[in-house]
Amino acid sequence: MSLLLAVDVGNTNVVLGVFDLERGPESPLLCSWRLATSKERTVDEYGLSTLALLRHRGLEATDVKQVVISSVVPPLHPVLDAWAKVYFETAPFWIEPGIRTGLKIAIDNPLELGADRLVNAVAGLERFGSPLVVVDFGTATTFDVVNTKKEYLGGLIVPGLKISAEALFQRASRLPRVEIAEPERLVGRNTVQAMQAGLFYGYVGQVDGILDRLLVEHPGAAIVATGGLARVLAPHTRHIRKVEPDLTLEGLRSLWIRNHAEARKRA
């Protein structure tokens, strides 16, 4: 086998996905997992966790021939670079400025662009065309915009729903910490229900309000959602009809293939 191990390192989770390169550029995602992001975890701890997950699906480290990584957690870069080299005997391909994306990055400073946002834009463009808005419900919720000219214009960043809930708990002494979940009713009959309804529907309203404005500037844009809370929140919004939980992993596959093919052409 010739597997590509795609790794998306976020502030909350490290998401890993496996693609079979022998099945071509449209190879489906074979399997995926989530690990808690920890800056204290060592190369061997990440390595042993990954090996156990692979073996649970009948795969071995020797099946992994390539590794591609996007990360928004710089302290983990040397750890994961060593992890790929030690456990899979390959130098990882990092998503960073200068790689071939097929997008024109039309923002003030392309060096500031988070790797995950770039990957989402590339994957969304390949799947749904342009104009495009990708909404990623992660630790922060990001809105990324691609226009009809396939230019990445930038976007918006707002605190994620879990951050909002935690801030409410920390700053209001009489309010408890509550679970993020779809509330049973709009009008809460106790404090917990009231908090859950306010957080949930307040967040849905915020998402719809931003998308209302974006669609005025980019009429007809495809709206696609990804990220951990996408399946929970998207059905309650007015504009999101496409939910792609694996969009970032698919973008990592596409970017690895694009840059690998270009490198072969130049060789």
The residues carrying an active-site annotation are: 116
DSSP line for 76-142: GHHHHHHHHHHHHSSPPEE--TTS--SSEE-SS-GGGS-HHHHHHHHHHHHHH-SSEEEEEESSEEE
Judging by DSSP bridges, how do beta strands 222-226 and 151-159 pair with one another? unpaired
CA dist 213 and 216 (Å) reads 5
CA dist 86 and 178 (Å) reads 41
Beta carbons of 134 and 144 less than 8 angstroms apart: yes
Give the side-chain half-sphere CA count within 13 A for 141: 24
